[in-house]
């Protein structure tokens, strides 16, 4: 078994909508990023790449490249899953924590879990999506952006 950790932070100020785990959670604002700025998908991609010892999403999908302008982060996550599979590894479990002050995750959690499970080829019971605030502290507490952390567990493929 292998475990990887991912962390990403994006500031508010981008074009709407706000996407987390491929789900629209706010139609009125967005996060700044080269792609669709899905901070949760980015953290998860980094966790998967870390567990497979394949670098980070910035290495594979550089923000300076025009190829990734407005890219769908869930499509990029699917590409990461293909990279992991090429290493003869399979995703066994993921855990994502979103840190946001004003954005509410609970109404969207089921859809987010379903999207992540579909992209990773996992049963929903193996995908955890949860949220917390920073209790008003720091850039997240001032509602200047959103952070996400993710943990991914990989196992050798059975083929």
Q: Is 24 within 8 Å of 34 (Cβ atoms)? A: no
Mean pLDDT, residues 41-65? 95
User: What token pair was written down for 18?
Assistant: 């706000």
Whether the predicted pLDDT of 65 surpasses 90: no
Nearest Cα neighbor of 151 from 125, 130, 135, 132 is 130
Whether the predicted pLDDT of 25 surpasses 70: yes
What is the reported pLDDT for 159? 67
Using DSSP, state whether 103 is helix, strand or coil: coil
- What's the rounded Cα separation, in Å, for the pair 62 and 128? 27
Over residues 121-152, the pLDDT tens digits come to 999 999 999 999 999 999 999 999 999 999 99
Average pLDDT, the chain: 96
Contacts of 118 (CB under 8 A, 6+ apart): none
Does domain 2-156 correspond to CATH entry 3.40.50.10800?
A: no
Mean pLDDT, residues 38-65? 95
Mean pLDDT, residues 92-113? 97
Q: What angle do CA 55, 38, 154 make, to 5 degrees?
A: 40
State pTM to two decimals: 0.96
Mean pLDDT, residues 70-99? 97
Percentage above 90 pLDDT, the chain: 92
């Amino acid at each position: 078994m292998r475990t990887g950790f991912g962390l990403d932070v994006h500031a508010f100020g981008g074009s709407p909508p706000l996407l987390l785990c491929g789900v629209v959670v706010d139609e009125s604002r967005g996060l700044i990023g080269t792609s669709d700025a899905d901070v949760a998908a980015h953290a998860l991609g980094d966790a998967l790449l870390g567990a497979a010892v394949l670098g980070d999403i910035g290495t594979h999908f550089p923000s300076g490249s025009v190829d990734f302008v407005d890219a769908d982060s869930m499509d990029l996550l699917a590409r990461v899953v293909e990279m992991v599979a090429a290493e003869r590894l399979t995703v066994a479990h993921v855990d994502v924590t979103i840190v946001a002050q004003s954005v509410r995750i609970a109404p969207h959690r089921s859809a987010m879990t379903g999207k992540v499970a579909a992209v990773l080829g996992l049963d929903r019971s193996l995908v955890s999506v949860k949220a917390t605030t920073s209790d008003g502290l720091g850039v997240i507490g001032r509602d200047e952006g959103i952070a996400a952390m993710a943990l991914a567990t990989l196992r050798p493929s059975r083929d």
